[in-house]
Amino acid sequence: MLNAIEHTLVSRSSEWRLLPDLPESPDDLGLDLLAAGRDAAEEVDNLRKADGLTVRRLELAIRLRNLEAVQRDLDPGQWADHRHAFFCLVRNHVLSVPGLFAYFSYVPRLFGLAAASMDWTEATHCARRLRAVWDLLDLTAKPDPVKVRKCKQHLVDAILEALAKAIGRRSCEAHLMGLKDTLSALQLIEPVMSLEQLLELSRKLFIRDLAREPWREVLLDDVDDMSRMERVPMVALADSTLHKLQINAAFPFLEAVPALRATIPRVPYPIAFPTRPLLPSEMSLLDRRCIEELPRLRDAARGLRGVVLDIEDSAAAPEKRVGSGIPRVVNVPFNRGCQSRRIAIPCFLTLDSSWRASVAGERDPDARRYFRLNGIINDVLKTRPRPDYLVLPELCLPRRWFSRIAYKLSQSNVSLIAGVEYLHWSGTRKTPTPHFGTARAVAPFVSNQLRASLVTDSLGYRTFVVYEQEKATPALEEERELWSIGKKILHSLRRPVKRVISHGGFRFGLLICSELTDLTLRGKFRGAVDALFVLEWNRDIDTFSALIEASALDIHCFAIQSNNRLYGDCRVRAPYREAFRRDVARLKGGEADYFVLALLDIEALRAFQSRLRSPDSGEFKPVPDGFMLTGARKTIPR
């Protein structure tokens, strides 16, 4: 019996750990939500039992949680049909006389979901339905008027609070008219809060970090709007108070964030007294030095999160460079015993139309892309043995999806390496343009970046940090297409340096597509890395096939190539002696997204390379002439 209970608990909890998924057709949305019987726990296998419809409470909670996540990740128009179908089910089966009391706690969340999606039509319909249910209850049940008024007051207050939290920073005139209609329909008691009072409450909740959207999203927005900081109250604390709260420890980090630099020594209220403080991953995104200097991240976490950390200086100290030609090492500690690493290589499709929409700043025409991506990540989370890394291709991941997906993967100790969509920015740079040659150009720029979310326990608990790297120069076709479609110029926002990442002792380098053709750049990783990850959006698979095969031999490491399924040839190449073993995994084609696991035997590779001379017979090909193994990778030879 205990085993059966444990199995049920594990299966149910796994549903909460997965990313949201919606059925292809909105008509199928209620199949798992409604039970064809009066007891939701009973399986209906004949018509005699199908004498009514009930709502499964657990399925309602999971479906609502999923839709709240979808609302954060997608524009309202991209899932309008599913949202309409869900609210139709809610009005018919949840906002009813028995459902009102059975699912009382979910009602404010339903209004919050509608308001966050700016779907005031559905919010107004739900308000009218709610009022009709209360009118029916008053006519038929004859309850105690005092108790009824208290119940209505509590419900209306909860709904108004949910609406105020959902509005957040949104205050455009068209949406305010819809909100006014919703408030008019929500006349369960008198008086209901006015529109002006609700907007003022929304503003206060947001600047106190109590809104639906965390205040820290202001700092993480790709659009740098300094005017938003003017509306945030600042706290001028005495030096003694700063010292007691340890906020002064975070001043080096705060000075590195452009939106906060001008406010010091005053501190924004949500920074000094946050309800949802910055995560370590967000700190490493806002300040690159936090991942290169872990004591700096420790100080920022102590000052902003109130975490007292005990880190060994040897684990947190940056590693000294062995030679001038070897990239600097970024050390991300992670206590992991086995030296082998499992890599999940997906064959994932991103359409050309999605790329063009991202360049032009338009809505993604591929409405199912989000759910296809969630589906393959859920499969990765459910697979056994679980991989250590998931590698996604160049430009395949919208920027606002990255943190949420990385967080879900990190909870299962899976790190993510992915190419994110272009960062759009404006400024003045001396840039060669396709039509005007080298000029001081004032034009919209884009930056092509990859991000690596790396699971770490260096802060005394399990979390993850984010390493970001930029592409230095565009490929020829990429440059032409950017200019012809959006009059955009690819230029790095910061100096596009390359680093060797040491993640729990596993050392690897990262390149973006055409950077693989730079022989000098590839050569810098020789002897310094166990693996080289190359993220691509590349149709010239024959040329890059030869480059990957050559890189595995001349760098003498595992070479991982992740390409768009549109062109295929995702692979893991190794410098094994026997030719049939060199393709550890290779994927191409298919009608659906999928992935495979590949095992990298890092310990065997290092033991082979640590010999003074490569043996005539061994597991790997002999190291190339001029190969120099860095000291940190040396081990006992085999």
CB 186 within 8 A of CB 194: no
Residue with tokens 């892309």: 369
- Judged by DSSP in three states, 336 sits in coil
Domain boundary among 207, 241, 256: 207
- Is 206 exposed, middle or buried, given 0-12, 13-18 or 19+ CB atoms closer than 10 A? buried
What's the domain range around 157?
2-207
Predicted TM-score (pTM) of the model is 0.89
Q: Beta-strand (E) ranges in 174-298?
A: 234-235, 267-268
- Same domain for 472 and 383: yes
114-131 pLDDT, tens digit each: 999 989 889 999 988 988
Domain boundary among 177, 207, 237: 207
- Same domain for 444 and 532: yes
The structure tokens listed for 69 are 């996540």
- Same domain for 291 and 336: no
Q: Give the number of C-alpha atoms closer than 13 A to the C-alpha of residue 78, restricted to the C-beta side.
A: 18
Confidence band (pLDDT; 50, 70, 90) for 436? very low
Q: In the chain, how many H helices and how many E strands? A: 25, 18
Count of domains forming the chain:
3
- Say whether pLDDT at 573 is over 80: yes
Closest by CA to 242, choosing from 262, 279, 267, is: 267
- Same domain for 110 and 83: yes
50-79 pLDDT, tens digit each: 444 456 777 888 889 999 999 999 998 899
- Same domain for 514 and 468: yes
Distance CA 295, CA 317 (A): 8
481 part of a folded domain: yes
Residues contacting residue 484 through CB under 8 Å, at least 6 positions apart: none
13 part of a folded domain: yes
92-110 pLDDT, tens digit each: 888 888 888 888 889 999 9
* Residue 445, domain CATH: 3.60.110.10
- Same domain for 490 and 366: yes
450 part of a folded domain: yes
- Same domain for 609 and 504: yes
356 part of a folded domain: yes
- Same domain for 87 and 8: yes
321 part of a folded domain: no
- Same domain for 251 and 196: no
What is the secondary structure of 101-140 as a DSSP string?
HHTGGGHHHHHHHHHHTT-HHHHHHHHHHHHHHHHHHHHH
Residues contacting residue 419 through CB under 8 Å, at least 6 positions apart: 392, 393, 394, 395, 396, 397, 448, 449, 450, 512, 535, 537
- Same domain for 189 and 43: yes
- Same domain for 592 and 471: yes
Q: Of all residues in the chain, what percent carry a pLDDT higher than 70?
A: 84
Q: For residue 68, what is the enclosing H or E element?
A: helix 57-73
Tell me the average pLDDT across 552-574. 94
324 part of a folded domain: no
325 part of a folded domain: no
167-220 pLDDT, tens digit each: 876 655 556 677 777 777 777 666 677 888 888 888 888 888 899 988 888 888
Q: Beta-strand (E) ranges in 150-244?
A: 234-235
Q: Cβ–Cβ contacts within 10 Å for residue 618, how many?
A: 15
Side chain identity, residue 223: V
Closest by CA to 528, choosing from 546, 510, 548, 547, is: 510
Domain boundary among 158, 183, 207: 207
Distance CA 501, CA 454 (A): 10
Closest by CA to 454, choosing from 464, 469, 443, 439, is: 464
The structure tokens listed for 461 are 């608990």
- Same domain for 487 and 454: yes
241 part of a folded domain: yes
